[in-house]
Chains A and B, each alone.
Chain A
Amino acid sequence: MITKQSARRTSATAKRVLQQLGHDRRSVALMLVVPAVLLILFKYVYTGNAALFDQIGPQLLGIFPFIIMFLVTSVTMVRERTSGTLERLLTTPLARGELIGGYALAFGSAALLQSVVTTAVALGPLSMKVNSVWVIAVFAIVDALLGTALGLLMSAFARTEFQAVQFMPAIVLPQLLLCGLLNPRPEMAVVLRWISNVLPLSYVTDAFTRARTVQGLDAQMWRDLAILTGCLILALGLASTTLRRRTP
């Protein structure tokens, strides 16, 4: 049940997280600019092979928000856990769902802004071809939220910010290798394909690949969206169980 107070606490939390981000101008600049710069780099690395860039360009649009939101969220949340503010928050009327909702709202909007910048650079100066821009936006938000949710979850297993950063290669890189970016999934060895089937980033990549050629959302993209939403809910649910009020 969403009451007025509950909505107020959630939005206050989102505002607070964004204010914290706002005081860290350098991080904001890196979040907004780095993906676009990387995309430009990819474009010129594949100068002689425009077809290849046309193929992986849209996939990259889906991968950046995921990686960056995972990192930002897990580090922020570890900070919240180790500084004692989480313990304090859990003694206030703020519910766990409201806290997680606030985080998702704040980082979701940051991800949207990042996607707008990256997509604008991709479609403009880099003349990447995509059929439906809004489809890109929808999937970018969902997969940024998925990154946020996994970051929240993994923060429970990190005692320090340094450990949280180490989770990035551990959780994200295997997904990056198996998602179909480097080699299309149907061409992978059977076992690897099975593994890639249970990794959420694979469905992000599938959807962004189809966004290049398909108009709007086709049945398979709806399926991808459903799977990603399911993963998102599962990760958020698991993350909320790691926020224990009573601790030893």
Chain B
Amino acid sequence: MMNKAEYAIRIQDLVVVRGRRLVLDELSATIGAGSVTGLLGPSGCGKTTLIRCIAGIQLVKSGTVEVLGEPAGVATLRSRVAYVTQASSVYPDLTVMQNLVYFAALTDRSASDVAKALDQVGLTANRTDLTGNLSGGQRTRVSLAAALLCEPELFLLDEPTVGLDPVLRRDLWKLFGDLAAAGHTLLVSSHVMDEAARCEQVLLLREGKLIADDTPDGLRHQTGQDDLEQAFLTLAERAGHPEEPNADQERQAS
């Protein structure tokens, strides 16, 4: 499905060190244009750091990140790439509509783009509500809508489906698929392995290392496991990290 020459992101030998900790260890990968790529791995494995590198807001030690043909973080990419952080980064003391109108103004979008984005995330009925009064899942969707209305070529979505009910999750994944079909590229991080099944390409990250870069079917095939969760375990064991899975979470707390 993915044309190798048509990549949206190319990462080469990326090393990120935070404090004394090696967060990303010589990571290289390419991400296909016009597709949904899943970035999966346990909490604290470096998913957010990798996304921040692609968004161009992470200080890196070495390596290169090329996004849509340009070095990550250059000014011309700011209207072509939208980054939705894990915590909903919208203003709780504004209404949903006021939030979206503001983000629309920053990227020269109109009121019709705002209405369309509201509809896409199913929040049209909440548009006059104060964002801070919404539930966590609804706030996440406001944050997502603020990116949707910019119609960027590349979406960087950090755990956009956390805390959403299954129906909404299904709807959002359908939306991601539709966006990819329309030519957008999406990089979606998640720590829920079954979400990998909905992606065309899956990057498995563990302790800052890329342990797999394949299609969901490819992952099943190479591990001989039907279940992607099991496939991940097999790959993690092969990569030679017989540590307890909890060690990652503790590290992230720091």
**Stretch in contact with the other chain, from A57-65, A82-90, A125-133:** A82-90
Chain A, 7-29, CB within 8 A of any chain B CB:
8-9, 12-13, 15-16, 19-20, 23-24
User: Do A87 and B89 contact each other (CB < 8 Å), given the known contacts A23-B94, A246-B73?
Assistant: yes
Which B residue sits closest to A90, measured CB to CB? B57
For B82, the chain A residues whose CB sits under 8 A away are 91
- Which one of B18, B84, B94 contacts A248 once the chains associate, using CB atoms below 8 Å? B18
User: Do A93 and B107 contact each other (CB < 8 Å), given the known contacts A84-B89, A245-B57, A246-B73?
Assistant: yes
**Stretch in contact with the other chain, from B24-32, B98-106, B242-250:** B98-106
Separation of A13 and B91 alpha carbons in the complex (Å): 12
Interface residue B12 (Cβ < 8 Å from any Cβ of A): no
Q: B72-84, CB under 8 A of A: which get 1 and which 0?
A: 0101001101111
Interface residue A217 (Cβ < 8 Å from any Cβ of B): no
For B88, the chain A residues whose CB sits under 8 A away are 84
Which B residue sits closest to A23, measured CB to CB? B93
User: Do A85 and B103 contact each other (CB < 8 Å), given the known contacts A16-B98, A245-B56?
Assistant: no
Interface residue B130 (Cβ < 8 Å from any Cβ of A): yes
Interface residue B58 (Cβ < 8 Å from any Cβ of A): yes
Interface residue A116 (Cβ < 8 Å from any Cβ of B): no
Chain B, 86-118, CB within 8 A of any chain A CB:
87-94, 98, 102-103, 105-108
Interface residue B124 (Cβ < 8 Å from any Cβ of A): no
Interface bracket on B: 20 to 34
Separation of A9 and B102 alpha carbons in the complex (Å): 9
For A5, the chain B residues whose CB sits under 8 A away are 108
Nearest Cβ distance between residue A106 and chain B, in whole angstroms?
12
Interface residue A49 (Cβ < 8 Å from any Cβ of B): no
Give 4 new A-B contacts, CB below 8 A, not counting A92-B103, A94-B106. Answer: A90-B57, A91-B56, A91-B82, A92-B78
Can you list 11 residue pairs at the A/B interface with Cβ under 8 Å?
A5-B108, A12-B102, A12-B106, A13-B102, A16-B94, A91-B57, A92-B78, A93-B75, A246-B59, A248-B18, A248-B59
Residues of chain A whose beta carbon lies under 8 Å from any beta carbon of chain B: 5, 8-9, 12-13, 15-16, 19-20, 23-24, 83-85, 87-94, 245-248
Residues of chain B whose beta carbon lies under 8 Å from any beta carbon of chain A: 18-19, 55-59, 73, 75, 78-79, 81-85, 87-94, 98, 102-103, 105-108, 130, 150
Pairs A-B, 6 closest by C-beta atoms: A12-B105, A84-B89, A88-B89, A16-B102, A91-B83, A93-B78
